[in-house]
Structure 1
């Protein structure tokens, strides 16, 4: 069932839980970039005609957190929760001034969190993840969504030291997961799975703008701003509405074309996993969109069939096959 997409809503608050500046009644423009990669999500927010006193207050360290919510009546939620990196004041015209806010999500933990810990023999991947998150908690990152990691126990002790993100990168490679920080939460999504929950139906009745387009990087689709679209969630598209990519007819490019077809093929049931979800809009302008890049997944696989195949994770993209090192 579709939710009517009208009556825009927005909320912008700067500060902590005890004291905050509410700028929701002013004109706000924003551009939020979110992805499955570990590089922190970012946001650029412009607020018009802020008083000088409020602008100075927004630059204080204790008001470093920024929470942006947007959407429509009935479909409204957080699209960015992070910390302010820079505040700039300027004038757009003779009558309008602006306050520009550049913010990042979890960048302090990403750039500066270090780990110095040793675990006894018998530790598992879940123990390594827990230790990494504990090292980041002092910089505002807590545990969020995570799939079931391997329960294999190491026969010897494990030493973890250096930047925490390097430990997580190594964990991602060994466990075949993508880690990222989403609204201050450590999020791990298996590369062969997606977040649980019903697929979000995207068509002309639910706010799709234009037609989806297949590219070398995935399927691009634009819709009216939808805060329910999260990294790793499922979208349901109508394959007949997707504009197909043109492959290179050069015989020398055949290997690249084959790889593109394998990596970016259509799903028979129209199920696609969100890799990138960018939100941008103007509460008093025309822009109010969510741009998504997604890839095909097989949502018909059941837990039982995957456990038999040795995956053990709900929502696998495909059952693992034999390794073919020579193609």
Structure 2
């Protein structure tokens, strides 16, 4: 039996044979759906494993092993309704037969077809603004930019040329601006190397869905920070599709005297319309 107030749906865009478009879609909403999604502040693709129970044989045959677009939305019927939780492309598809049920698993990567498959060629004359280079790379990759933090007008004095994987070109240009990039829900997010998005801080406390008490840990990913390892917390909440890596949170827990601004380094969403999980688990660090 479905859990009260939870809603989720999946739309699968069926790729064409040349991987440059879609030839239709399958919309699924009246079936059991579960998911495990991992999102990080990294150029590597965010990943999702989406399970769907008892797809028809026709729809199982239509879904391809690689390259279909998967859009997962989830939320609460009596709150904000369904919200976009993940968008990406299938990297593997399997069907498990456990009679009388059939479980289809869609393993996906956010930006998979772009980040791991697409090459570009760009060439600019001297004194080209680095921001212009970044925008051109994004355009060639077919990525819209959801956020691009303001910077000084840094230029390539000798021009800029590149031919190869587009994500490597992004690395070079974005780092020149002192920023970092990632793909979140199919869009390019470019934010300060050691900062957050420009979104207003999100309140996280017992009244807004925080589960239990934040767990303290030491984050030792030294390359991520200017001043070495940092103390962070693992925070659990009810499912929060609106929170992305890089967002700023105001976290308050009276039990441990926690009250301050934190940045989301990673977030994992776990949910099952027929199971116990419907939550988000975040790694956060002090900002």
The TM-score with structure 1 as length reference comes to: 0.75
Structure 1 counterpart of 2:286: 296
Change in CA separation of 1:157 and 1:178 when aligned onto 2, cut-off 3 Å:
closer
Structure 2 counterpart of 1:167: 169
Structure 1 counterpart of 2:89: 83
Change in CA separation of 1:242 and 1:25 when aligned onto 2, cut-off 3 Å:
farther
Contact 1:219/1:295, CA 8 A, preserved across alignment: yes
1:64 equivalent to 2:68? Answer yes
Structure 1 counterpart of 2:273: 283
C-alpha distance in 1, partners of 2:68/2:113? 12
TM-superposed deviation, 1:242:
4.7
Structure 1 counterpart of 2:110: 105
Contact 1:113/1:135, CA 8 A, preserved across alignment: no
C-alpha distance in 2, partners of 1:122/1:241? 55
C-alpha distance in 1, partners of 2:254/2:208? 17
Contact 1:88/1:100, CA 8 A, preserved across alignment: yes
Q: Give the paired residue count.
A: 263
C-alpha distance in 1, partners of 2:60/2:179? 41
C-alpha distance in 2, partners of 1:183/1:39? 13
TM-superposed deviation, 1:241:
3.8
Q: 2:245 aligns with which of 231, 250, 254?
A: 231
Structure 1 counterpart of 2:178: 176
Contiguous gaps of at least 5 residues in structure 2? 15-21, 220-231
Structure 2 counterpart of 1:30: 35
Indicate the SS of the match to 2:155. coil
1:270 equivalent to 2:268? Answer no
C-alpha distance in 2, partners of 1:291/1:23? 26
Indicate the SS of the match to 2:128. coil
Q: 1:185 aligns with which of 172, 184, 187?
A: 187
TM-superposed deviation, 1:160:
1.9
Indicate the SS of the match to 1:34. strand
Q: 1:194 aligns with which of 170, 174, 196?
A: 196
Contact 2:87/2:110, CA 8 A, preserved across alignment: yes
Instruction: Find the structure with the greater CA-based Rg.
Output: 1
Contact 2:65/2:90, CA 8 A, preserved across alignment: no
Contiguous gaps of at least 5 residues in structure 1? 1-5, 244-265, 298-327
Contact 1:212/1:241, CA 8 A, preserved across alignment: no
Deviation digits for residues 34-70 of structure 1, max 9, x if unmatched?
1110001111011111121121122387x81110001
Contact 1:213/1:242, CA 8 A, preserved across alignment: no
The structure richer in helix per residue is 1
Structure 1 counterpart of 2:51: 46
